[in-house]
């Protein structure tokens, strides 16, 4: 049999076994996959899924897939009614979306989920470079378009970043009362809010007046509870896009998709307990050094910042708190296609 045909059949076998490559190095002869997660079932006390669904949105891409899988696993493991959880994944390309679908099905055979295509062209002309390249990727802005992607029947959704794990029942976060607010998230009013915008912003009276009359506090957009109906009614995607256009002209901030959210929502956010976003475990956006937990109880651990636990673990230089992420890592280490052993 010709060598080219043999290699083609080998590739096809692994492709339909739901594996993928994450970097040019791994694409040169190695495949990577995930172990199948155990099945998590509802108890007798759980209401029918038809009447009590928890909607969770996350992005999916090759770079952060390992983190996303760990995040999903953590949610299911701690959920009181895991079969009532529906995931809404967002990916950027049709080809990649099919690969990701196969991986999710093989890793979580019992998971109820949808995958939506996010058109990168929606933001490509509006993105300005920031202090970390990962923050400039179009998919980082997909959270602004959830109301356009998710079916109108979903009134509320939880958005989770791909570098976190949940160690509590997600139903507690889902059930918070948003009141009249569009968005709920933990706020951090001790943070120096002025640092999130440039001198050009604060020296412009029109821009600075945006926060007039608001008790604006920093919040991290990696964990948000969103009322999609109110979002659509208030046309909040357009408001965020408007600030992105201003940024393109005037350079009023440095940090990716976060500042537009602060400009639109800060001071008008339903406050969620800090336990639901112990963020910053990835260090800052430059060095990604190890950090400790904030004081208080913990329901969610978030490795926001440059340092990601899977990268530090693989490099044999983990931080102490990375050991809390490791039990949710379903990654199956790469296998060479050309290994004779």
Identify the CATH number of the domain in which residue 157 sits: 3.90.550.10
The verdict on residue 99 lying in a domain is: yes
Do residues 266 and 196 lie in contact, with contact meaning Cβ atoms separated by under 8 Å?
A: no
pLDDT digits (tens, 9 = 90+) for 176-209: 999 999 999 999 998 888 888 999 999 999 999 9
Question: What pLDDT score was predicted for residue 97?
Answer: 81
In a domain, 266, yes or no: yes
Task: Examine the pLDDT at 236 and tell me if it is beyond 50.
Answer: yes
pLDDT digits (tens, 9 = 90+) for 7-66: 443 343 333 333 444 443 334 334 458 999 999 999 999 999 888 999 999 999 988 999
Q: What is the mean pLDDT of residues 128-149?
A: 81
Predicted pLDDT at 135:
59
Q: Tens digits of per-residue pLDDT, 257-316? A: 899 999 999 999 999 999 999 999 998 767 778 999 988 999 999 999 889 999 999 999
Question: Do residues 8 and 20 touch, judged by C-beta distance below 8 A?
Answer: no
Beta-carbon contacts of residue 111 (< 8 Å; ≥ 6 apart): 72, 76, 87, 104, 105
Mean pLDDT score of the chain, rounded to an integer?
A: 87
- 62 in a domain, yes or no? yes
Residues paired with residue 302 on neighbouring β-strands, in sequence order: 164
Helix, strand and coil percent figures for the chain, each rounded to 5: 40, 15, 45
Count of the separate structural domains present in the chain: 1
Q: What is the pTM of this model?
A: 0.87
Residue 288 DSSP code: -
In a domain, 3, yes or no: no
**Integer CA distances (angstroms), 167 to 65, 77, 79, 173, 279, in order:** 19, 8, 9, 12, 14
Burial class (CB in 10 A: 0-12, 13-18, 19+), 302: buried
Domain with 264, as residue range(s), is 51-327
Decide if pLDDT at 1 tops 70.
no
In a domain, 72, yes or no: yes
Are 113 and 104 in contact, with CB atoms under 8 Å apart?
A: yes
Measure Cα distances from 298 to 109, 178, 207, 218, 301 in Å. Answer: 29, 21, 36, 19, 7
- Token representation of residue 127: 């993105």
116 close to 57: Cβ distance less than 8 angstroms: no
Q: Which residues pair with 113 in a beta bridge?
A: 87
41 located within any domain: no
Pairwise CA distance, residues 256 & 263, whole Å: 13
Over residues 144-157, mean pLDDT:
96
Residue 170 lies inside a defined structural domain of this protein: yes
Asked whether residue 341 is domain-assigned, the answer is no
> What pLDDT sits at residue 21?
41
User: Distance (Å, rounded) from C-alpha 303 to C-alpha 324?
Assistant: 11
């Amino acid at each position: 049999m010709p060598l080219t045909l043999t290699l083609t059949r080998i590739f096809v076998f692994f492709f339909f076994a739901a594996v993928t490559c994450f970097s040019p190095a791994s694409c040169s002869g190695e495949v990577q996959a995930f172990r199948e997660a155990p099945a998590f079932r509802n108890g007798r006390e759980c209401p029918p899924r038809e009447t009590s669904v928890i909607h969770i949105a996350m992005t999916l891409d090759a770079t952060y897939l390992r983190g996303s899988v760990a995040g999903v696993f953590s949610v299911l493991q701690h959920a009181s009614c895991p079969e009532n959880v529906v995931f809404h994944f967002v990916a950027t390309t049709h080809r990649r979306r099919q690969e990701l679908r196969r991986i999710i099905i093989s890793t979580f055979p019992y998971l109820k989920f949808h995958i939506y295509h996010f058109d990168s062209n929606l933001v490509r002309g509006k993105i300005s470079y920031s202090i970390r390249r990962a923050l400039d990727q179009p998919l980082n802005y997909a959270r602004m378009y959830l109301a356009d992607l998710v079916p109108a029947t979903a009134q509320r959704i939880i958005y989770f970043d791909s570098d976190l794990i949940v160690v509590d029942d997600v139903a507690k976060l889902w059930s918070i009362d948003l009141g009249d607010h569009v968005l709920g998230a933990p706020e951090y009013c001790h943070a120096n809010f002025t640092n999130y915008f440039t001198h050009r912003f604060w020296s412009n009276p029109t821009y600075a007046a945006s926060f007039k009359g608001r008790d604006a506090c920093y919040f991290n957009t990696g964990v948000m509870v969103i009322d999609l109906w109110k979002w659509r009614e208030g046309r909040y995607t357009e408001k965020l896009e408007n600030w992105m256009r201003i940024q393109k002209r005037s350079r009023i901030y440095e940090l990716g998709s976060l500042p537009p959210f602060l400009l639109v929502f800060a001071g008008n956010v339903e406050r969620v307990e800090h336990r639901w976003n112990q963020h910053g475990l990835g260090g800052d956006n430059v060095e990604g050094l190890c950090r400790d937990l904030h004081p208080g109880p913990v329901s969610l651990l978030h490795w926001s910042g440059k340092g990601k636990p899977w990268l530090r673990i693989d490099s044999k230089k983990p931080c102490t708190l990375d050991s809390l992420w490791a039990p949710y890592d379903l990654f199956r280490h790469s296998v060479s296609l050309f290994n004779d052993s």
